[in-house]
């Protein structure tokens, strides 16, 4: 067994394009239904800090590797949640 095979469980395959669109559409719909409320600058910064420390972050694309959402948008929306278990964002 090669080293790559031994470490396969450490890697998370990103969602398909279809799944990313579905996830983002749901998040955007929830955001609109909530009156498009945004979090405070402090909460936004805390969320981005948590994302930057996350092993699932796709840094070059600034996307969550679990849901595929663009963090600059999702982290601002009051209704958004971190998809990791347990969540990396404070309630």
75 belongs to a structural domain = yes
Number of domains the chain is built from: 1
| 11 domain-assigned | no
Which domain range does residue 46 map to?
Answer: 35-83
Residue 91 lies in a domain: no
Please name the residues in contact with 58: beta carbons below 8 A apart, sequence gap of 6 or more: 14, 64, 65
Q: Would the pTM count as exceeding 0.85?
A: no
Q: For residue range 13-58, what is the model confidence (pLDDT) as tens digits?
A: 778 999 989 998 999 999 999 999 999 999 999 999 999 999 999 9
| DSSP-derived 3-state class of residue 26 | helix
């Amino acid at each position: 067994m090669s080293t790559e095979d031994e470490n396969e469980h450490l890697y998370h395959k990103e969602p398909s394009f279809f799944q990313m669109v579905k996830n983002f559409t749901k998040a955007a719909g929830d955001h609109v239904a909530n009156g498009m409320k945004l979090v405070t600058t402090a909460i936004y910064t805390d969320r981005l800090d948590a994302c930057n420390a996350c092993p699932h972050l796709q840094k070059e694309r600034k996307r969550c590797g679990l849901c595929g959402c663009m963090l600059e948008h999702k982290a601002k929306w009051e209704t958004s949640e971190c998809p990791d278990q347990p969540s990396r964002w404070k309630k």
